[in-house]
Amino acid sequence: MMALLSVCLSMSGLLQIAGSEKPSPSAPILSPELVTLAVIGGAGDQWIQEVGFLPDGKIYGKGGGGHFTVLYAANGAKCLGISGDLNTASTGPQGETWANGGSTTKSPTDGSSLTIGYKQVAKNLQQPYLSSKGGWKWWDWTEKEADSLRADSRGVRVQFLPGGRFLAKCWTDGGNSTLTRDPRDISKPNPATKDAAVMKGAGGSATLYIIGDDKSGSPLCGTFMKHRPQAETFDASGRIFVAQHVGDQTKDGPKGFGLGGEAGFCVLDAGLSRVLFTTSLGPGRANSIAIHNGLCVVGGGVPADGAGSLQQRNPAQPKPGGGQDAFIAIIRLW
């Protein structure tokens, strides 16, 4: 089984199924149920950096640096084994790469592409940019244009959504940010966040999720969230799944499983105007998220003093490994 797992995981083009479905005219009603919550680890610190689905539907979580992989059945309810070395500490980033000097994403349906990143426009000022192969651009302000808006701000990631839309992810270290302005006209407020699901502005370190029209470059909707959510994906209807729960940032939406702690995830509607679901998953931090066939998988890390208190279901190993352990959560969405 482990040899087969190694072969399957080498087929990298087949792993990231989440968010690849064609647009659907109607969205299944969310009724999340926690199927599995498990820790994985040995001596040293481990975390899960990547989650996804194999072509046959089996669920995997891969540790930072690729030193181990945990595999679950396609229904999420049974651990099929752990391959690799659990006594080697995980390496590499934990979650998102926030220092993006420029990356290009190509549309899966046509020849368009978007490039996002940030520039150091002055000694003490970073500014985001987003440009389209179609000729329009967002942000890319000079220091003079930014004027008194002195919070460092960065473009982090962009991905195409169903229906000719895209989702851009940005970060700022303060409320006095150009991200609070129209990405095409810095003299105007950002029109996208007027009906924000979580926060209309950045009161400190915050991430902006903003959706735009791929052809025209018009900003459509958006929301700020506290600090740095590490990963996000979407379903066929365009609902956004974020690897961070919103806690006291909103009074909307059912509050989920009530497990406490900082790790968790939330679901936002396709217009980023409502929180449809939010839940904690325990101590630690979520680094990755993927969805497929009505299942959501979240992976991350849980500190040594929290691993023993995690309310495990369908565990992958008999007891925590010591140090920081990885965790994987599998949720049936509908």
Q: Which domain holds residue 313?
A: 26-95+242-332
- 1 exposed, middle or buried (CB, 10 Å; 0-12, 13-18, 19+)? exposed
Instruction: Let me know whether 123 and 167 are in one domain.
Output: yes
d(CA 5, CA 69): 9
CA distance 85 to 11: 21
For residues 182 and 68, state if they share a domain: no
Check whether residue 222 and residue 319 sit in a common domain: no
Q: Please tell me whether residues 328 and 274 are part of one structural domain.
A: yes
Mean pLDDT per block of 10 residues along the chain (334 residues) reads 42 40 67 97 96 98 98 98 97 95 95 96 98 96 98 98 96 97 98 97 96 97 97 96 82 72 96 95 97 98 91 95 96 97
Distance of CA 174 to the CA centre of its chain: 21
Q: What is the reported pLDDT for 20?
A: 37
Per-residue pLDDT, 309: 86
Does 275 reside within a domain?
yes
Cα distance between residue 134 and residue 141, in whole Å: 19
Please tell me what DSSP assigns to residue 268: E
Q: Do 125 and 91 share a structural domain? A: no
Given this model, what pLDDT does residue 282 score? 94
Spatial separation of the C-alpha atoms in residues 76 and 260, rounded to whole Å:
22
Look at residue 77 in the predicted model and tell me its pLDDT.
Answer: 98
Angle, vertex CA 230, rays to CA 319 and CA 188, nearest 5: 160
* Domain-embedded: residue 21: no
Q: Does 175 reside within a domain?
A: yes
For the four alpha carbons of 292, 106, 272 and 176, in that order, the dihedral sign comes to positive
Predicted local distance difference test score (pLDDT) of residue 107: 95
Q: Residues 156, 217: one domain?
A: yes
Residue 67 falls inside a structural domain: yes
User: Looking at the domain assignment, is residue 14 inside a domain?
Assistant: no
Cβ count within 10 A of residue 83? 20
Q: Report if residue 13 sits inside a domain.
A: no
Residue 233 included in any domain: no
- pLDDT score, position 7: 36
Does one domain contain both 85 and 127?
no
Asked if the structure places residue 291 within a domain, the reply is: yes
Q: Which residues contact 230 (CB under 8 A, 6 or more apart)?
A: 94, 95, 96, 243, 244, 285, 286, 287, 288, 300
The answer to whether 69 and 83 have CB atoms below 8 angstroms apart is yes
- Same-domain pairing of 122 and 84: no
Split into its structural domains, the chain has a count of 2
